[in-house]
Amino acid sequence: MREFIRQYKKNKSAVVGFFIVLILLTMAIFAPFIASHLPADQNLADRLIPPMWEEGGVVSHFLGTDDFGRDLFSRIIYGARISLMVGAVSVGMSLSFGLVMGLVAAFYGGKVDLFIMRIVDIMLAIPAILLAIVIVSILGPSLINAMIAIGIVGIPTYARVVRASVLAEREKEYVIASRINGSSNLRLMFKVILPNAASPIIVQSTMGFASAVLESAGLSFLGLGAQPPTPEWGAMLSDSLQFIMTAPWMIFYPGLAIFFTVLGFNLMGDGLMDVLDPKLKDK
C-alpha cells in the first residue's frame, strides 16, 4: 500500500486529480456547513445578483444568484452531492452488470462468450447519448432515471474491459492450480481471477465517474435528467442559457464545476493506470 502511494505521488497531475476529487467529496459531505443558503431557497427580491466582487454584488451571495434568487454558490455546493451520486449510481450499475457479463463470458468462453459479446456489440452500436435519451423518454424525465440510463449505457464498456482482463488471467497456471485443488467455478471467477484482473476495472470505473457526470449534465441540459429545483449542474446550465448575456455567472460557474470534476476524475484515473498496470505485471 505504501509502495502504491509512493508511486502514485510521482505523477503530479494525478495528485492534483486526487485533491480535486477530495475537494468534491468534502463539498458533498459538508454541504450544509459550507453553503450559505439552501439550494432551493428562492428570494425573488434578490434575483440575478452578480458575484460578490462585481458591481452590484453582495457578500451574502458569494457567487451571485439565479433568476429565482437562489444562491448560486450554495447550489453548486449541493450540486456536488448530486454529481457524486450520479457517478456512484451509474458506475455502480454499469460495473455490476458489466462485471458479471464480462466475467462469465471470459470464463466460460465458447457459445456463452459469443452470445454475451454480441449483446455488448449491439449495445455499443447505438450512440450512447441517443440510447440514454430513449431510455429516459421511456421511463420519464427525472434524475434517477437519468442515472439508470447512464448506467445501462455504460454496461458494454465494462463488460469488455472485464472480459479482456479476465481472459488474460484465465490460462495462467495459478488458476489451473486452484481448479485442480477443487475450486468451484464461482470461486475461481471471483476469488481467484478477479483480484488479479482488477486494475483495468478500477481505472475504468474512476474515469467512468467523469463520463457519468458529463452525460448526466448533458441529459439534464436537454431537460431529460434532473428536474427543477434540483441543483444539478447540467440542469443549471440549460436553465441559464437565456441569461447568457445578462447574467453570465449563472452559466460560467456551474460549467466550471463540471469541468473540474471531470478533470479531477480523469487525472486520477490516469494516475491509477500508471501505477496499477505495469507494477502488477510480473514482479
Partner 1 sequence: MSDVVFKINNLKKYYEISLGLFKKPKIIKAVNDISFEVKKGEILSIVGESGCGKSTTAKLMLKIEEPTDGTILFEGKDITKIEGEELREYRKKVQIIFQDPYSSLNPRWKVGEIIGEPLKLNTKMSDKEIKERVLYLMEKVGMLPEWYTRYPHQFSGGQRQRIGIARALALNPEVIVCDEPVSALDVSIQAQVLNLLLDLQKEFNLTYIFISHDLSVVEHISDRIVVMYFGDIVENADVDTIFTHPKHDYTKKLINAIPVIEY
- Using CB under 8 A as the criterion, which residues of the chain lie in contact with partner 1 when the complex forms? 172-174, 176-183, 192, 195-196, 280, 282-283
Cβ atoms within 10 A of the Cβ of 71, count?
25
Report the residue number, 174 or 259, with the smaller CB distance to partner 1: 174
CB of 176 to partner 1, least distance (A): 6
Which uninterrupted H or E stretch holds 173?
helix 173-180
In order of 6, 57, 177, 235, the CA distances from 3 in angstroms are 5, 49, 29, 42
Report the residue number, 197 or 237, with the smaller CB distance to partner 1: 197
Report the residue number, 134 or 177, with the smaller CB distance to partner 1: 177
CB of 277 to partner 1, least distance (A): 13
Cβ atoms within 10 A of the Cβ of 108, count?
14
CB of 183 to partner 1, least distance (A): 6
Cβ atoms of residues 216 and 232 within 8 Å: yes
Report the residue number, 134 or 176, with the smaller CB distance to partner 1: 176
DSSP 191: I
Report the residue number, 2 or 283, with the smaller CB distance to partner 1: 283
CB of 109 to partner 1, least distance (A): 15
**108 CB-near residues (< 8 Å, 6+ apart):** none
CB of 3 to partner 1, least distance (A): 11
Using CA of residue 209, residue 213, residue 214, residue 215, what is the dihedral sign?
A: positive
Q: Amino acid identity of 130?
A: L
DSSP 69: -
**Residue where the block lists cell 462485471:** 99
